[in-house]
Amino acid sequence: MNNTQISTSFDQDYLRLGELQRTFQAKGAIKKIMLGVGIFLILGSLCWLSFLPSVLAEGGGVGVVVGMAIALFLGGALSLGVYYVHKKRRVDVYENGLVISTWRGSTAFLWDEIEDVERHHVHVYLEQRRPGLGKEKTLVDRRYTITGKDGRTAEIQSIENAAALEKILEKFM
């Protein structure tokens, strides 16, 4: 007979959320850019280190090569860290509430526990054309702060199809 027990340390809200209705993932373009930049910089640091034998043979400039390799490596590591943080962003909408997931963990809200949803629009201007030739293009990044009746807060940002998520959250705004 096996006495193995399953851990049940998650919040009771998860049990009452019901069936999963829809999932909103982090924006894909940002993830791809951060991953590409991170890999590029780390490979660049390795390329700089490949110059080390020839610099040692000539007898100078070792500090510049090593310093540049370290700077590129740290930049790549930072970029991969941003990729990881962004990749973990997700909102799962259930029939009785939602779960907001980040790299730090998840927060569950039942619909009847939500006190307020505050909307923040961040406008990013992508291109500005000369006057009279057309409108400027803008990207709107929708961000939301959800506050529960118990004082808990969670932030939603940089989610794909945020307009559809906003329609779900409208009744709390």
The reported pTM is: 0.68
| pLDDT at 6 > cutoff 50 | no
| The two structure tokens encoding residue 24 | 């909103």
Q: What is the pLDDT of residues 22-64, one digit of tens each?
A: 999 888 787 888 999 999 999 999 998 888 888 777 877 788 8
| pLDDT at 9 > cutoff 80 | no
Specify the amino acid at residue 160.
E
| Contacts (Cβ under 8 Å, ≥6 apart) of 132 | none
